[in-house]
Amino acid sequence: MSDQTGRNTHRPSIIPRSEHIVSRANISNNAIKVLHRLHKGGFQSFLVGGCVRDLLLRHQPKDFDVATDASPEEVRKLFRNCRLIGRRFRLAHIHFGREIIEVATFRATHDELDDNDIRGLTDAGGRILRDNRYGKLEDDVWRRDFTANALYYTLDGYSIWDFVGGFEDVEQRVLRVIGDPETRYREDPVRMLRAVRFAAKLDFSIDDPSEAPLWELGHLLDDVPPARLFEEIIKMFLAGRAVESLRLLEHYRLLAHLFPALVSELGKDTDGQFRKLLLDGLATTDQRVREDKPVTTFFLFAVLLWAPIKKRFDRLHGGGMPPIPAMQQAVEEIVKAQQSQISVPRRTTIPMKEMLALQSRFNMRKGVRSLRFLHHPRFRAAYDFMLLRASSGDFDTQAAQWWTDIQLADEKSRREMAQVGRGAGSGKRKRRPRRRAARKRSAGQGGQE
């Protein structure tokens, strides 16, 4: 039975231990300690959110979040290893070495506030500005975004409490917004990106009522703080499902509100070169995440912004600017324009510019500079990006193979390869030793080469 807001007005459905697969063996010992101490202190305490969902999907959660009726100050009194953080909503972080258990106090719904309070919490479009009112468990449920993220696990009987049908949705692999989807998206437009991220990451389908507004409300992302969008993009594209995330962003017409310059160039990409590099780059990132290898934000954004950067570079270089300054200026211009949508920090843009400025050096295979290039701190990242360009047809594949071979060669073979700019043992005759004499004559004619 539901009221007019779509909320279940019954008490929660309690799933006993015999009917679910969540085991304490898969829960962090530190999270269990937090639950126990809160309970002994006279407070309610639940594991909540993605960790419960992931355990039901037989995934190992990255972190464990706790919800309680204790205030942040009361939590701090129970735990000496506690730090309070946050302005919009106060949270307690319980530190156990490198592991942090996040503890949040139950939040109140807008229904519990008077009109003046609500006007202070939201803007004219319904977007939440402040969110720091505490409430009860029954209130907290309705403030969560999706039913799959609104499951509460308690050590009291090791049961799961479900107010909104999330347990069944997880079993059916369905992503469903709690409440009216359009209203919830307007409250916080980032929920649209979270819908895409969870659908891609978990391989869930988005139910029809939750899906329908996505095509029409993308413009709401234009008013989200760019720094917040950067964090959401990192979560989305570095979770091992970047290719699928891109597909869904394009499908729901959200990508243009995040990377307008990229969308513009993809629309003119008649030979598919830029799209191939983009997809290959994201697929490589996904593979590295699955193999638990390091991934970097600067490489990701180089992949995402390469199309407009390359177009701008071609215009600058074609106008007579040397390749390295042309690439540096192209990166600066495109990144500056991008900042109005997504605030990319300098810790990302600086190494990205360094890596892309090195691309022109792959055209220079002769001489000692090619050998020195192998030891450049950004060589490996630049080399990996060059391979993506070669695979998409943006760089000569034979030259790319030469740079692969020279890394595998011994020192003598490297010197031979650098002398001729070809692979060692290629059958080509070495250059005759007349170069030194030629230089002397040239120097005698004014020192120009």
What amino acid occupies position 275?
Answer: R
- C-alpha closest to that of 57 among 28, 31, 22: 22
What distance in Å separates the CA atoms of residue 449 and residue 439, rounded to the nearest whole number? 8
- C-alpha closest to that of 78 among 45, 38, 106: 38
Q: Pull the structure tokens for residue 65.
A: 């979040």
Instruction: Based on the residue annotation, tell me whether 63 is a catalytic residue of this protein.
Output: yes
> Rounded to whole angstroms, what are the CA distances from 398 to 30, 281, 365, 422?
54, 20, 12, 9
Q: Which helix (H) or strand (E) holds 342?
A: none
Q: Are 61 and 192 a contacting pair, CB within 8 Å?
A: no
What distance in Å separates the CA atoms of residue 19 and residue 7, rounded to the nearest whole number? 24
What distance in Å separates the CA atoms of residue 336 and residue 42, rounded to the nearest whole number? 53
Catalytic residue selected from 65, 140, 188, 286:
65
Instruction: Based on the residue annotation, tell me whether 280 is a catalytic residue of this protein.
Output: no
Coil vs helix vs strand at 153: strand
What distance in Å separates the CA atoms of residue 180 and residue 291, rounded to the nearest whole number? 39
Task: Give 118-138 as a DSSP string.
Answer: HHHHB-TTS-B-----B--HH
Q: Work out whether the CA dihedral 400, 403, 406, 408 comes out positive or negative.
A: negative
The residue behind tokens 């073979």 is: 413
What distance in Å separates the CA atoms of residue 234 and residue 285, rounded to the nearest whole number? 12
What distance in Å separates the CA atoms of residue 132 and residue 178, rounded to the nearest whole number? 20
Q: Which helix (H) or strand (E) holds 175?
A: strand 174-175
Q: Are 305 and 385 a contacting pair, CB within 8 Å?
A: no
In three-state form (DSSP H/G/I as H, E/B as E, the rest C), the secondary structure along 405-421 is HHHHCCHHHHHHHHHHC
Instruction: Based on the residue annotation, tell me whether 69 is a catalytic residue of this protein.
Output: no
> Rounded to whole angstroms, what are the CA distances from 61 to 127, 158, 295?
30, 18, 20
Catalytic residue selected from 69, 140, 145, 169:
145
Catalytic residue selected from 63, 139, 207, 394:
63
Residues 6+ apart with CB under 8 A from 413: 424, 425
Q: Are 334 and 301 a contacting pair, CB within 8 Å?
A: no
Catalytic residues: 63, 65, 145
